[in-house]
């Protein structure tokens, strides 16, 4: 039975990837960092079927011990300080985890077992102030936040370890992907959660920043399949993963409120607190290479994603589940 180790297993993508790998017959190990409160809500339903192991991207020794103990065939590095807005407030921490954390993990692999296959969670935020549209594997990077800058480092150190040491290491340049398990601070989930609260009479307004920003939004469940396919390709190659469609925050708002029978203009307040020092105005990816070489295609449409998220948030509140 192949064994995969996932960093960031308590996050959105980690939980979907763990489910996907279990279904493929993998033994799944998840790295978790110490926390004073339990944050396993996304993996509660599979906790009996996976092994959790302590570790932190900031602690090199913990990574080496973890690999020595579990000896995985594949490592998926999904852990990061992943919220762009926070990266301005905590730029050094973001660099430690999201940038240098990748080097620590790659070096642990090199020391313990260079045969381990490695996946790095690269991001469309690396394209930032885009120099080409749509963005593809060859598009130059121009990051616009400390997060984006850290991801560029993580991306290139992965390429460098592949070229320097012959590691089977790949980067997936994934555009925004969302789900009912998305963190509440990201704009899509912030909207769908608040739509549900307004619909159920629990809230009256939604405060947002820039409504004109455009993103290429897909479904996280589709995107974790691309990670696995990439890692198991015969050659280590980097791919863009995206839907090829771009929509504004306002379009997302419109669909989400409409789905609940509401008009967003009655509830949305623009609040400068949610504006960013530097914005990424437009992202749209070209995943032609992944389609051609990996046979990967997204399954969930933009409208399907919005409806899925609104429905899940309404149900969660109706069931009395505390949204997280």
Give the residue numbers marked as catalytic: 123, 125, 147
* Distance of alpha carbon 296 from alpha carbon 286, whole angstroms: 12
Nearer to ligand NAP by C-beta: 8 or 298? Answer: 8
**Cα–Cα nearest to 281, from 223, 192, 216, 219:** 216
User: Which listed option, ligand NAP, ligand F7E, none, makes contact with residue 274 (CB within 5 to 8 Å by class)?
Assistant: ligand F7E
d(CA 223, CA 226): 5
Residues 158, 237: Cα–Cα separation, whole Å: 11
Number of residues that bind ligand F7E (CB under 6 A): 23
Q: Could you tell me how many residues of this chain bind ligand NAP (CB under 6 A)?
A: 25
Instruction: For the chain, report the end-to-end CA distance as a whole number of angstroms.
Output: 33
- Partner from ligand NAP, ligand F7E, none contacting 233, C-beta within 5 to 8 A by type: none
CA distances from 4 to 70, 284, 315 (A): 9, 31, 33
Which residue's CB comes closest to ligand F7E?
A: 213
Q: Which residue has the tokens 């020092």?
A: 277
Cβ proximity to ligand NAP, 267 vs 281, nearer residue: 281
Asked if 221 and 174 touch (Cβ cutoff 8 Å), the reply is no
Which residues lie below 8 Å from residue 53, measured CB to CB, with a gap of 6+? 5, 29, 30, 31, 32, 66, 69, 70
User: Applying CB under 6 A, which part among 5-13, 108-116, 250-258, 289-297 lies near ligand NAP?
Assistant: 5-13
- 52-59 long-range contacts, CB within 8 A, separation 24+: 52/9, 53/5, 53/29, 55/7, 55/31, 57/7, 57/96, 57/97, 57/101, 57/102, 57/104, 57/105, 58/96, 58/97, 58/101, 58/104, 59/104
Q: Cβ of residue 188: shortest distance to ligand NAP, in angstroms?
A: 9
Q: Which does 11 bind (CB under 5 to 8 A by kind): ligand F7E, ligand NAP, none?
A: ligand NAP
* Choices 76-84, 245-253, 263-271, 304-312; region in contact with ligand NAP by CB under 6 A: 76-84
- Residue 268 as a binder of ligand F7E (CB under 6 A): the answer is no
183 binds, among ligand F7E, ligand NAP, none (CB under 5 to 8 A by kind): ligand NAP
Residue 24 beta carbon to ligand F7E: minimum distance, rounded to whole angstroms: 25
Contacts with ligand F7E in 193-222 (CB under 6 A)?
Answer: 208-210, 213, 215
Residues numbered 88-107 forming contacts with ligand NAP, rule: CB under 6 A? 97
Binds 14, which of ligand NAP, ligand F7E, none (CB < 5 to 8 A, cut-off by type)? ligand NAP
Q: Which of 28, 29, 79, 157 binds ligand NAP (CB under 6 A)?
A: 79
Q: Which is nearer to ligand F7E, 195 or 249 (CB)?
A: 249
Assigned token pair, 26 = 């993998």
CB under 8 Å to 119, separation ≥6 — which residues? Answer: 74, 75, 76, 77, 169, 170, 171, 172, 227, 230, 231
Residues within the interface to ligand F7E (CB under 6 A) = 82, 84-85, 123-125, 175-176, 185-188, 190, 208-210, 213, 215, 249, 274, 276, 279-280
Residues within the interface to ligand NAP (CB under 6 A) = 7-8, 10-14, 33, 35, 39, 56-58, 78-82, 97, 121, 123, 174, 176-177, 183
């Amino acid at each position: 039975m192949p064994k995969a180790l996932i960093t960031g297993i308590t996050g959105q993508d980690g939980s979907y990837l763990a489910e996907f790998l279990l279904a493929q017959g993998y033994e799944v190990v998840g790295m978790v960092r110490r926390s004073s409160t339990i944050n396993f809500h996304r993996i509660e339903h599979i906790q009996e079927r996976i092994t959790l192991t302590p570790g932190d991207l900031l602690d090199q020794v913990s990574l080496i011990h973890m690999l020595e103990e579990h000896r995985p065939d594949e490592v998926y590095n999904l852990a990061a300080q992943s919220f762009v807005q926070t990266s301005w407030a905590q730029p050094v921490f973001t660099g430690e985890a999201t940038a240098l954390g990748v080097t620590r993990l790659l070096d642990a692999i090199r020391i313990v077992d260079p045969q381990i296959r490695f996946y790095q969670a690269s991001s469309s935020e690396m394209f930032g102030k885009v120099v080409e549209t749509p963005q593809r594997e060859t598009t130059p990077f121009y990051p616009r936040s400390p997060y984006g800058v850290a991801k560029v480092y993580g991306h290139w150190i992965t390429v460098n370890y592949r070229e320097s040491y012959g590691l089977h290491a790949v980067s997936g340049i994934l555009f925004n992907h969302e789900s009912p398990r998305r963190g509440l601070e990201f704009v899509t989930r912030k909207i769908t959660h608040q739509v549900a609260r307004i619909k159920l009479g629990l809230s009256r307004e939604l405060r947002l920043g820039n409504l004109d920003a455009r993103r290429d939004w897909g479904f996280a469940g589709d995107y974790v399949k691309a990670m696995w396919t990439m890692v198991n390709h015969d050659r280590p190659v980097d791919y863009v993963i995206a839907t090829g469609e771009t929509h504004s925050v306002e379009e997302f708002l419109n669909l989400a409120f409409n789905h609940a029978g509401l008009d967003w203009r009655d509830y949305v307040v623009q609040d400068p607190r949610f504006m960013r020092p530097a914005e990424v105005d437009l992202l749209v990816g070209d995943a032609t290479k992944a389609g051609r070489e990996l046979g990967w295609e997204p399954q969930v449409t933009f409208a399907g994603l919005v409806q899925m998220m609104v429905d899940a948030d309404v149900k969660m509140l109706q069931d009395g589940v505390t949204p997280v």
